């Protein structure tokens, strides 16, 4: 039986070399008998290097650069930033239009909380604001315009679009009448003159007695501090208040009873004690003529 011999080739004879020859001997693929030739991705490299990619050369087709898609997170952020910018510009335009729009110009002023002054006085004081857009009107501006009305201690404002400004005032609280000649000045705890009257009986407030001369400032402040601490029902029962010194304030009720107050210290506690003493039923056989609350923790009646 004749044996089949594989042809051998010697180097240098010009005979063809088996395709894709390598050190591992894998010259054929899949056992199909077909030689598979390894080709370089760069034709020039294949011709120069026998199918191998030279060291240091990119293993990519010549003249091509791989493009990677932008990360989704970065793209989303870029879109959000762009949208936010557009929204900010639109909002700025809307705000500017509202601030300067004649549609929101002030035409009506409503007033609440007035007793000592009339609503028409407040409206007259705020007349310079007429026609001004509501968003441009500040509470400080309103307070400044109302400053000449000394009866008003504070004010708050609220814009009611399209053209109304609501003003709520807090007035000073009158605590006494100060006699000046044949008239009486209505004053608050700070001594601010709120109004005048010639009929003291028409106002249910005590009269501060300055004697024959002008009451010194320290005595006046001591008296008004005491009166400012009294509840309204007690204040309405007082006929007058006087002070020999800042430590010797005395009050008198309309029925003739006297109150020894002392100085202006612990005035809130003294006011509560006095209010409680005045609520005790009177004893016809032993009527109280004097309430002494100068030492409020140990009051005395006699």
* Locus of tokens 């004697």: 211
**Would you say the C-alpha torsion 256, 260, 263, 266 has a positive or negative sign?**
negative
Q: State what percent of residues in the chain have pLDDT above 90.
A: 38
Residue 216 main-chain phi, psi, to 5 deg:
-60, 155
Contact, 173 vs 228, CB < 8 A? yes
Enumerate the domain spans of the chain: 102-171, 174-301
The Cα 230–Cα 236 span in angstroms is 10
| Chain segment 44-99, per-residue pLDDT in tens | 444 444 445 455 555 545 556 666 566 666 667 666 766 777 766 666 556 655 55
Task: Work out the number of other CB atoms within 10 angstroms of the CB of residue 266.
Answer: 17
Contact, 238 vs 253, CB < 8 A? yes
Partners of residue 208 on adjacent β-strands: 178, 241
Task: Work out the number of other CB atoms within 10 angstroms of the CB of residue 288.
Answer: 14
| Chain segment 12-58, per-residue pLDDT in tens | 444 444 444 444 444 344 444 444 444 444 444 444 444 454 555 55
Residues in the chain: 302
Fold of 174-301: Rossmann fold (3.40.50)
pLDDT at 1 over 50: no
| Chain segment 246-287, per-residue pLDDT in tens | 899 999 999 999 999 999 889 999 999 999 999 999 888 889
Please enumerate in sequence order all residues whose Cβ is within 8 A of that of 257, keeping only pairs 6 or more positions apart, or say none: 288, 289, 290, 291
> How far are the Cα atoms of 19, 27, 35, 39, 54 from residue 42, in angstroms, in the given order?
19, 22, 21, 8, 10
Gyration radius (Cα) of the chain, Å: 51
The Cα 51–Cα 132 span in angstroms is 87
Domains 102-171 and 174-301 share a fold: no
Fold of 102-171: Ubiquitin-like (UB roll) (3.10.20)
């Amino acid at each position: 039986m004749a044996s089949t011999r594989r042809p051998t080739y010697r180097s240098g004879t010009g005979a063809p070399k088996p395709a894709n020859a390598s050190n591992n001997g894998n010259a054929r693929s899949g056992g199909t008998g077909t030689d598979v030739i390894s080709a370089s991705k760069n034709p020039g490299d294949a011709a120069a290097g026998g199918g191998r990619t030279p060291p240091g050369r990119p293993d990519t087709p010549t003249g091509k650069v791989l493009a990677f898609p932008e990360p989704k997170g970065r793209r989303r952020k870029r879109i959000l930033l762009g949208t936010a910018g557009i929204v900010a510009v639109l909002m700025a335009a809307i705000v500017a239009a509202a601030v300067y729009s004649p549609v929101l110009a002030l035409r009506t002023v409503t007033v609440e909380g007035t007793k000592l002054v009339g609503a028409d006085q407040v409206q007259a004081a705020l007349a310079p604001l007429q026609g001004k857009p509501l968003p441009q009107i500040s509470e400080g501006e309103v307070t400044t315009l109302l400053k000449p009305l000394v009866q008003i201690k504070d004010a708050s404002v609220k814009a009611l679009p399209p053209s109304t400004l609501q003003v709520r005032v807090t007035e000073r609280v009158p605590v006494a009448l100060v006699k000046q000649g044949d008239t009486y000045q209505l004053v608050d705890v700070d001594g601010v003159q709120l109004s005048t009257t010639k009929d003291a009986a028409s106002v249910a407030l005590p009269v501060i007695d300055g004697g024959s001369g002008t009451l010194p400032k320290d005595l006046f402040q001591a008296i008004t501090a005491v009166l400012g601490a009294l509840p309204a029902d007690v204040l309405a029962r007082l006929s007058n208040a006087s002070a020999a010194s800042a430590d010797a304030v005395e009050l008198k009720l309309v029925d003739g009873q006297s109150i020894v107050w002392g100085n202006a210290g612990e005035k809130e506690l003294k006011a509560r004690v006095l209010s409680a003493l005045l609520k005790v039923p009177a004893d016809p056989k032993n009527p109280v003529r004097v309430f002494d609350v100068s030492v409020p923790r140990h009051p005395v009646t006699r």
